[in-house]
Amino acid sequence: MEYFTFENGVKIPKLGFGVFQINDLKQTEETVEKAINKGYRLFDTAAAYGNESAVGLAINKSSIPREDFFITTKLWIQDYSYENAKKAIDNTLQKMQLEYLDLYLLHQPYGDVFGAWRALEEAHKNGKIRAIGVSNFEPFQLENLSLFNDIKPMVNQIEINPWEQNKKTVAYNQENGILSEAWAPFAEGKNNLFSNKSLQEIADVHSKNVGQVVLRWLLQRDIIVIPKTIHENRMIENINVFDFELTDSEMAQISDLDLKQSQFFDHQDPKAVQRLYNLPYSSVR
């Protein structure tokens, strides 16, 4: 496995495994166990996914040393306050049966972001979290958070796929020492991604499939990727992307596919904020 390095020296695998929308706890545990056996060490979950405990169980059952894993989870907006965030961090550690987390993120850029961030900074300084970051933040929100706090985000996890390439935010992240991490790298197959002619032509040249080309394109943009699948053959394919390289013209060809719009929802849409706010979730109440 290859690694990126945060500004504080912590290393993170360039490619990991996501568990979003694997709702059944037994299935989550079994899926993570299979992924571990296929060589994955970075696992990304969230309090709002409802499957943190299953990820933790699979990690603890493994014979692989804890320090070889990189575990990421996220705080949900209903717990955004200094006190609630402190409780949520401890609840997650207890739920996952872990002594520390490798990366902890603010899941959305809404609510009492500053209060929650102070709790993350404190947990980081106390050794409960090795690295802290955010998800779905725009450049102006990152700048605001960085200027008025002791620690700036080390990673920004955002939607990045061929249809929503988020070039402006990725550029800001890179210019400011913040690693970019792509959620939904395959856009859940929207707009017929896996049968796209341009992507398939590139895949054929390298004797790879479209999914592998997309992951390679992201890696060559210095972006962490966390594809999700429950199928073992896909697990093998997704991690097998370090033995080829896309040319500059192929990278440009994929760049031209950018539709410059989210394939899910606009985080700046007031109605989207309302929907997230009304989700009945809190880990401490």
Asked if residue 154 has pLDDT above 60, the reply is yes
Strands 179-183 and 42-44: unpaired
Asked if residue 35 has pLDDT above 90, the reply is yes
pLDDT in tens, 220-237: 999 999 999 999 999 999
- Provide mean pLDDT across the span 191-216: 98
Residue type, 167: K
Query: Which residues are annotated as catalytic?
Result: 49
Provide the pLDDT for residue 278: 86
pLDDT in tens, 64-82: 999 999 999 999 999 999 9
Domain limits, the chain? 3-277
Asked if residue 285 has pLDDT above 70, the reply is no
Confidence of residue 284 (pLDDT cuts 50, 70, 90): low
Provide the pLDDT for residue 277: 87
Asked if residue 173 has pLDDT above 90, the reply is yes
Question: Is 231 among the annotated ligand-binding positions?
Answer: no
User: For the chain, first and last CA: distance in Å?
Assistant: 39
| Mean of pLDDT over the chain | 96
Asked if residue 43 has pLDDT above 80, the reply is yes
Classify domain 3-277 at the CATH class level: alpha beta
155 burial type by CB count under 10 A (0-12 exposed, 13-18 middle, 19+ buried): buried
